[in-house]
Amino acid sequence: MAMKRLLVLIALAACACERQEQQVGQVPTTPNEIGALQGPTSKPPAVVPMPKDQAELDRMILAGYTPHGRHLHAPGVKECPLTQGSEAVM
């Protein structure tokens, strides 16, 4: 009786290994499939209001935000949407 149980257990283990191998073997190959796995990317807002606290402003500038007039721009923003392209963000 124990031998029959052992054979059933071995058969189940072999089937489970084959199924796991099939699932792991499916690798996305096209850029669309890879992008679908990464999910949507978020962008920082182009304009951030100026904080009232000077310490918070200093931390944001150290983090890469650029002061521009009465607002800040996130790192990587090159044009101000409030000036409609007439000024560049330095």
Q: Which helix (DSSP H) or strand (DSSP E) does residue 68 occupy?
A: strand 66-68
Q: What is the pLDDT at residue 26?
A: 62
Residue 11 lies in a domain: yes
Residue 23 lies in a domain: yes
State the Cα–Cα distance between residues 14 and 8, nearest whole angstrom.
10
Are 65 and 75 in contact by the 8 Å Cβ rule? The answer is yes
Q: What is the pLDDT at residue 56?
A: 93
Residue 66 lies in a domain: no
Residue ranges making up the domain that contains 13: 2-38
Number of structural domains (the chain) is 1
State the Cα–Cα distance between residues 29 and 11, nearest whole angstrom.
33
* pLDDT higher than 70, residue 29: no
Residue 85 lies in a domain: no
Per the model's pLDDT, the better-predicted residue between 4 and 53 turns out to be 53
Model confidence at 25, pLDDT cuts 50, 70, 90, reads: low
Q: What is the pLDDT at residue 32?
A: 62
Per the model's pLDDT, the better-predicted residue between 79 and 25 turns out to be 79
